[in-house]
Amino acid sequence: MLDQSQHNGSTLYNDAKLSHLTTVMDDGLMAEHFAKHLRAAAPELEWEVAQCAIENVIYKPAKHCRLLYRLALRHPSGATAEEWFYGQLYPPGLAAKRFDDAVSSIKHSYVAHEFLKNLPPVSFWPDLGMVLWMFPQDPNMAGLPYLFDPDFVRQHVEANLQTISGLENGAARDWHCASIRCDRVKYMPGKRCVLRYHARFAGPDGMSREMTFYSKTYSDAMSRYYFQFLQTVYEQLIAQTAAVHLPKPLLHLDGLNTFWQEDWQGTSLSSVLDELDWDDIFPRVGRALAAWHGVRVTDLPNGPDPDDVLKITEEYAIKLVDKMPMLQPLIGAALERLKAARTTLHPQHIPAAPIHGAIRPSQMLILGNELALVDLDDIALGDPLFDVAEFIVSVQYSEIRRNRSRQQIARAVDLFLRHYAEQVPWPCDRRRLAWYAVAFLINKMCSSVKHRDVSTLQQLESTGQELMNGWLEFI
């Protein structure tokens, strides 16, 4: 079994090149470091670090470790606030150069909290070999500070008032954007950031209206491709009056690798799943996914075929076993079974369909009796059972990540699959589903190690193995 010292990082994350790795992955130790940082950079600051949580970890042995820290701050008056810091840990001698590069690349400095204005947007911690960016600074998204600045956003809303506000043609001339408030929604340092804007519009005769919309920023110019592609998919879905929805793309901000999208007003299914009646929601999700697979969307790229899936799975398996060698017998046997069964996937003729490519409860919004899909970066034309298997595995994996009942999950999966199968003309072959499911399980296990999901790591040998064996018996 994996002992507690391994979970805390002393064994699992032992790295001779990154000597402070175990420190930067320790919430308690890093809370002390951040407290010192705040006192040193702004001695007059009365705010204290109440808690430090590690939100995200990307670790490449001997090269770097990237971490997102969420600080809960507390003032003697009782006021509270939250701030995010993105840290990169480097081998000795490299961090100083990376810090110089980071400072020279800053284009706009904006802080969310006025009391943090004296903190440097980028800091160097030589005792840890770490460079630290305070949100919204990001080394790969130089435009993010602008997009978090209400004045900058308001100017762009003003310049595109009719598109953003939805006011009828001509009426927008009598309105203006009075204020913008910004919330953080999702942040993957160096890759993507999702923000939510609350806009207040003022019109004639004291009239006012409010609306919310979302901003999605990328680290490269692929944002333009995603925006245009989403526009095409959205228009085709509207024309077909599909039973599943997409939030409407509104505007692409050239030069900022960002597009804006309407607020569909729904709630993430993952955040409310435990509050819902599973006997009601899982049949609805099954029917909704079937409806999505039944729409006609032109010009989609080809999705991953089984050979692509197998290649990626082998890469994940190597990384997983490298960090958790006690899983080698299980993962090795699973890989051999996938390879042996690979050719059996050819004869089954399942028509290609639009697939989400990363379907999980977190990628679905629920509003009343309706469902919408979000984060369609991986949308493609492919095997619909690819989506079905990933959704099922995501729900099953919540037994580990959220301590949900295995019996409750099994019933939910059965309801989901039964109602999906009733709506589609192709067979939901259990062996084909199992082949994809085993691949997705290896992917999720590797992700748990990569992102330092401590509570999950403690259960991979037991519950993880049971989940894997449950699928392997069908291959």
Residue 151 has pLDDT above 80, yes or no: yes
16 band by pLDDT with thresholds 50, 70 and 90? confident
Angle between helix 465-472 and helix 384-401 axes, rounded to 10 deg: 150
Give Cβ neighbours of residue 43 (< 8 Å, ≥ 6 apart). none
Average pLDDT over residues 257-266: 95
Average pLDDT over residues 204-215: 94
User: Across all residues in the chain, what is the average pLDDT?
Assistant: 91
Give the 3-state secondary structure of residue 241: coil
10 band by pLDDT with thresholds 50, 70 and 90? very low
Q: What is the pLDDT of residue 8?
A: 40
Percent of the chain with pLDDT over 70: 96
Q: What is the pLDDT of residue 348?
A: 64
323-364 tens-digit pLDDT:
889 999 999 999 999 999 998 776 567 889 999 999 999 999
Strand partners, 262: 213
Distances (CA, A) of 27 to 24, 31, 238: 8, 6, 47
7 band by pLDDT with thresholds 50, 70 and 90? very low
For CA atoms 253, 259, 262, 267, give the dihedral sign. negative
Q: What is the pLDDT of residue 12?
A: 57
378-393 tens-digit pLDDT:
999 999 999 999 999 9
6 band by pLDDT with thresholds 50, 70 and 90? very low
Strand partners, 372: 245, 365
134 band by pLDDT with thresholds 50, 70 and 90? very high
- The answer to whether the CB of 135 falls within 8 A of the CB of 85 is yes
- Nearest CA to 422 out of 242, 287, 288 is that of 287
177/157 Cα distance (integer angstroms): 7
- The answer to whether the CB of 23 falls within 8 A of the CB of 127 is no
Q: What is the pLDDT of residue 13?
A: 62
Q: What is the pLDDT of residue 428?
A: 93
Q: In what order do the strands lie in the sheet with 267-268?
A: 267-268, 364-367, 370-373
Q: Which of 37-51, 194-208, 239-253, 335-349 has the lowest mean pLDDT?
A: 335-349
Average pLDDT over residues 404-410: 96
59 band by pLDDT with thresholds 50, 70 and 90? confident
Please name each of the domains of the chain with its CATH number. 4-108+115-134 (no CATH), 144-262 (3.30.200), 267-472 (3.90.1200.10)
Q: What is the pLDDT of residue 346?
A: 66
Half-sphere exposure of 441 (CA within 13 A, CB side): 30
Average pLDDT over residues 311-324: 92
Average pLDDT over residues 134-145: 96
Q: How crowded is residue 244: how many other Cβ atoms within 10 Å of its Cβ?
A: 20
Strand partners, 123: 132
Q: Which of 187-201, 233-247, 320-334, 359-373 has the lowest mean pLDDT?
A: 233-247
pTM over 0.85, yes/no: yes
Q: What is the pLDDT of residue 230?
A: 92
Structure tokens at 183: 């919330």
165 band by pLDDT with thresholds 50, 70 and 90? confident
Half-sphere exposure of 310 (CA within 13 A, CB side): 15
Q: How crowded is residue 202: how many other Cβ atoms within 10 Å of its Cβ?
A: 14
373 band by pLDDT with thresholds 50, 70 and 90? very high
First to last CA, the chain: 27
Q: What is the pLDDT of residue 2?
A: 35
- Nearest CA to 89 out of 123, 117, 130, 61 is that of 130
Q: What is the pLDDT of residue 347?
A: 55
93-133 tens-digit pLDDT:
899 999 999 999 999 999 989 899 889 999 999 999 999 99
- Residue identified by tokens 């005769």 is 205
- Nearest CA to 381 out of 448, 304, 284, 287 is that of 304
Q: Which of 211-225, 226-240, 270-284 has the lowest mean pLDDT?
A: 226-240
- The answer to whether the CB of 364 falls within 8 A of the CB of 269 is yes
